[in-house]
Structure 1
Amino acid sequence: MKRHQVTIIDIAQKLNISKSTVSRALTGHPSVRSDTRQAVMELAQQMDYQRNMLAINLSSSQSKTIGIIVPEFVTSFFPIVIMGAQEIAAQVGYSVLISQSNETYETEVANAKVMLANRVDGVLISMTRETKNFEHFDVFKRKGIPLVFFNRVCHDIETPKVVVDDYEGAFKATEHLILLGKERIAHLAGPPSLYISRKRLEGYKDALRKHKRPILDDLIISYDLTLEKVKIYVKYLLDLPTPPDALFAVNDPTAIEAIKVIKEQGLSIPEQIAVVGFSNDYGSALIEPGLTTMAQPTREIGQVAAQLLLDQIHTDSSVWKPITRVLKTELIIRGSSQRN
Structure 2
Amino acid sequence: MDEKASVTIHDIARELKISASTVSRALNDNPRISQATKDKIKSLALKMGYQPNIIASNLRNQKTNTIGIVVPLINRHFFSSFISGVEDVAFASGYNVIISQSNDLLEKEKKIVQSLFSNRVDGLIASLSMQTNEFDHFQLFTNKNIPLVFFDRVVPELEAHKIVVDDFAVGFKATQHLIDQGYRRIAHLAGPTVLNTYHDRMEGYKEALRKNNLTVEDELIIFNRLTRMDGQEAIKQLLALPHPPDAVFCGNDTSALSMMVYMKKIGIRIPEDFGLIGFSNEPFSEVVTPSISTLQQPAFEMGLKAAELLIREIETKNKTQNYQTITMPTELVIRESSLRNAPRSA
The corresponding residue for 1:121 is 122
Q: How does 1:313-328 map to 2 (within 5 A)?
A: 313-316=314-317, 318-328=319-329
1:6 Cα deviation (Å)?
7.1
Q: How does 1:247-286 map to 2 (within 5 A)?
A: 247-286=248-287
2:216 is aligned with 1:207: no
Residue 107 of structure 2 aligns to a residue whose secondary structure is helix
CA deviations 1:231-251 (Å, max 9, x no partner) are: 221012112222211110011
The corresponding residue for 1:338 is 339
The corresponding residue for 2:142 is 141
1:54 Cα deviation (Å)?
4.5
AA paired with 2:191? G
CA deviations 1:311-340 (Å, max 9, x no partner) are: 111123542322100001001111101246
Contact 2:227 2:254 in 1 (8 A): no
Structure 1 CA distance, aligned partners of 2:278 and 2:102?
24
2:65 is aligned with 1:64: yes
Alpha-carbon RMSD: 2.3
Residue 169 of structure 1 aligns to a residue whose secondary structure is helix
1:230 Cα deviation (Å)?
2.0
Give the direction of change, closer, same or farther, for the CA distance of 1:157–1:336 in structure 2 (3 Å limit).
Answer: same
The corresponding residue for 1:170 is 171
CA deviations 1:75-98 (Å, max 9, x no partner) are: 222111111100010111000011
- Structure 2 portions without partners, runs of 5+: 1-14, 16-22, 36-50
Structure 1 CA distance, aligned partners of 2:227 and 2:270?
24
Residue 208 of structure 2 aligns to a residue whose secondary structure is helix
AA paired with 2:194? S
**Percentage identity across paired residues of the two chains:** 43
Q: How does 1:56-205 map to 2 (within 5 A)?
A: 56-205=57-206
CA deviations 1:100-138 (Å, max 9, x no partner) are: 111111111110122022210000011111111111111
The corresponding residue for 1:23 is none
Residue 319 of structure 1 aligns to a residue whose secondary structure is coil
Structure 2 CA distance, aligned partners of 1:317 and 1:166?
33
Structure 2 CA distance, aligned partners of 1:256 and 1:74?
16
Contact 2:164 2:325 in 1 (8 A): yes
Give the direction of change, closer, same or farther, for the CA distance of 1:317–1:135 in structure 2 (3 Å limit).
Answer: farther
The corresponding residue for 2:301 is 300
CA deviations 1:205-264 (Å, max 9, x no partner) are: 111111111111121111133432222210121122222111100111111111111112
Count of aligned pairs between the two proteins: 302
CA deviations 1:25-71 (Å, max 9, x no partner) are: xxxxxxxxxxxxxxxxxxxxxxxxx9874465244311000000111
The corresponding residue for 1:289 is 290
Residue 275 of structure 1 aligns to a residue whose secondary structure is strand
1:303 Cα deviation (Å)?
0.9
1:146 Cα deviation (Å)?
0.8
Structure 1 CA distance, aligned partners of 2:220 and 2:279?
18
1:160 Cα deviation (Å)?
0.7
AA paired with 2:292? L
Residue range with higher mean Cα deviation, 290-299 or 213-222: 213-222
Give the direction of change, closer, same or farther, for the CA distance of 1:282–1:8 in structure 2 (3 Å limit).
Answer: farther
Structure 2 CA distance, aligned partners of 1:92 and 1:51?
20
Larger Rg, first or second structure (1 or 2): 2
Give the direction of change, closer, same or farther, for the CA distance of 1:117–1:318 in structure 2 (3 Å limit).
Answer: closer
Contact 2:187 2:220 in 1 (8 A): yes
| TM-score for both structures, normalised by structure 2 | 0.82
